[in-house]
Structure 1
């Protein structure tokens, strides 16, 4: 990565982590949840910026990278959804949130991966808008992590999957 891309990624991830931590502190979250939320923000927000840089796009869309490789990167992020559903959405595990967001993400991933290259970006945008509308509209944002769903979708759909 170029120095300017690195500065944007590190800066955005760091600012995102600080702001996410601050939002959780303002809500009275425990130190454990503040640290966990800040770590999620560092990865998801910094990753959203990283995945839209020219350097990262060239790397993930170089010859030899398979559809399975792209899917694997997205699938790892189902863990992020599980962590949010478990730690930040009230007592216990919010299975409706976890299943709904995961299903939307997987359907979106398949939609983007299976269309011709010229349609990947518009399909990713449609999937982004539909998922944000469905998940946030029906299940609500996660208090203190209101940024999570849109940032995760930018990282994965618009960033990682679109060449």
Structure 2
């Protein structure tokens, strides 16, 4: 049997508390294993995809960026879908402003990707960032009962940008689709945080 619990426990103290505030306090052991294990597998797959097409033109900073990005995206996709994260990031007092700022923090990903990989950095960043923020606002201001289908539609449109030639990122074309999964579908959509019965 499962129950729905919207009340997150208080974060632990110290380093564990910092982790709790990042992924959501009260995560079950299974949630921890899934987000760390599956997140690591996704990150390794993304790094492998980049490595497969890497050239001598890719310098150390390209690699550092891709490794950090892959870890953040891989872990974030899984973590943002956990009940612990849903309960934490959709708790009372954590509203539209906080969700919008969370997405805004990821504009750094788009800016660095544009600078390091895009043929037209300003065009890539303007289109990707503008579309991400517009999609975020649409989802945030959609009535709750329509939020999930609207988010899937908005995320699909955002993903399709990666197929536009001007938006190509060599060996990194997974960035926009996976950001859509992490942010537009994972982080923003409010879903019931099911918990196992004790």
Give the TM-score normalised by the residue count of structure 1. 0.90
Is the CA contact (8 Å cut-off) linking 2:110 and 2:129 kept in structure 1?
A: yes
Equivalent residue, structure 2, for 1:13: 39
Q: What is the CA–CA distance in structure 2 between the aligned matches of 1:104 and 1:114, rounded to whole Å?
A: 15
Is the CA contact (8 Å cut-off) linking 1:100 and 1:135 kept in structure 2?
A: no
Q: What is the CA–CA distance in structure 2 between the aligned matches of 1:35 and 1:148, rounded to whole Å?
A: 15
Unaligned runs of 5+ in 1: none
Q: Which has the higher helix share?
A: 1
- Say yes or no: does 1:95 pair with 2:122: yes
- Say yes or no: does 1:43 pair with 2:72: yes
Is the CA contact (8 Å cut-off) linking 2:136 and 2:184 kept in structure 1?
A: yes
Matched pairs, number: 161
Q: What is the CA–CA distance in structure 1 between the aligned matches of 2:134 and 2:88, rounded to whole Å?
A: 24
Q: What is the CA–CA distance in structure 2 between the aligned matches of 1:121 and 1:134, rounded to whole Å?
A: 20
Q: What is the CA–CA distance in structure 1 between the aligned matches of 2:45 and 2:60, rounded to whole Å?
A: 15
- Say yes or no: does 1:84 pair with 2:104: no
SS at match of 2:172: coil
Q: CA RMSD in A?
A: 1.7
Question: Which of the two has higher C-alpha Rg?
Answer: 2
Unaligned runs of 5+ in 2: 1-26, 191-198
After the TM superposition, which parts of structure 1 deviate over 6 Å for at least 4 consecutive aligned residues? none
